[in-house]
Structure 1
Amino acid sequence: MTQQTYLWNPQPVFSLPVRGSTARLPVKRIFCVGRNYHAHALEMGRPVDKSTSSPFYFTKANSTLVESGETVPYPTGTNNYHFEMELVVAIGASGFRVSEADAAGMIFGYAAGLDMTRRDLQLVAREAGRPWDLGKDFEKSAVCSEIVPIGDLGVLDSGAISLSVNGETKQSSDLSKLIWNIQEIIADLSRFYHLEPGDLIYTGTPEGVGAVKTGDKIVGTIDKVGEVSLTIGAAE
């Protein structure tokens, strides 16, 4: 059998540590749920009526992944670089058109994540009816803690979620305030994608999002899941 050669090195495997294991979780895709807390939807000027709306999603390349504790440069092209604290669900089984009742069986575990956002670019795109890629899908914009296996945690339907910048609390809410809960998100997303092990779902952020600058340290926590941190370095 002829060994395959490439013009340049293929993309590396992007992965995250798993609590209690020496094996790492290879990340396949990153899905993000938009406006999934009522108070955040209001602060963004786009209230959500669950009775007449469906969840909506955007994606980030797995190459945007950053492990908790790192320092990242202030990104180019923006003057309004925002944090968004989120519960991350790690998928551990293949599934397509999954029912809400079967959604729990798809979950490998959870993590604490930051959906870092070039807010000015996102809003320009939003108002023009264009894709959000420049505002959302950029280098080092998906920050994630270690993965905590589901174990006895089950499907998380409540738990404090918070974020501080330089020790000052900016976001404080509870997972019970998710508009679409974990089972609903997994079931809905699986209508459009064949979900696979290694897919991550960032489930949405509470109110209180805001800008950070060079030198700031972000720390986010989720009850029973853990902590994610990020330091903002100088622009390149």
Structure 2
Amino acid sequence: MSRGVIRNGVTIVTEGPLEGKEAKIQKIDRHKRLAKIGGGLNVSFCQEGDSGQALKSLPKVKGCERMENWYAMKTMPEKEEEAAELIRRTIPPSLWESCTILRKKKLFRADGKLILSMEKMFPGYLFLQTDRIQDVSEMLKRSREYPHLLGEGGGQAVRMEEKDLAFLKQVCGEQMDQPMGLSQVEADEEGNLIRVEGILRPYSQKIVRKRLRKRYVLAEVGLFGRQETVLFGICLPGDRIWEGRR
């Protein structure tokens, strides 16, 4: 996404893929926040003063190239909520679009019952959607409250790759604000899975470990530039699930 301002009918782009290419803009739709630059390509843009909530409401248009810059930011373990709240409280909403902590659902046994719990997918990390990461990072570094970015002494936020985003959006929703759900599976008497449904299904051939009694499996997923072993929570036919408070 590009960012700029329209003054006296003249478009001035301050950052993004349209910066320095104002002469190529053929048409501006200020209401839809779309700039047509030829070849059937439209590029989303925002204007100075647009809020993060306003950006979320921009329409998705076929042929429109929308920049989605998500960053992984590391904080101290068990300080994820504190760090996210600080961003929401101190960083102007015009500088970011979404701030989230990725979570997953998982079952555990207690007193013979299957309890549904909520756990962090990546403890110590939060995920920020922004096209102005340098501005956000500088503001956070100046805050003595913030429990450090990725790396010692503040460090850098790490931009997410498109394939990583594709997986995370598949399991946590388009805005990555939904918990990764349980997958429904069915097994034979020997413990072999004979039916897999839900988010685990595309990775059923990548399962490297099964713990059916504990209601989870481990599968290899291409993530963060390497093969990661990801825990998928599962449930079986007939499971009676109790709500937990984890």
Structure whose residues are more often helix by fraction: 2
Largest Rg, 1 or 2:
2
TM-score band by shorter chain is under 0.3
Q: TM-score, normalised by structure 2?
A: 0.22
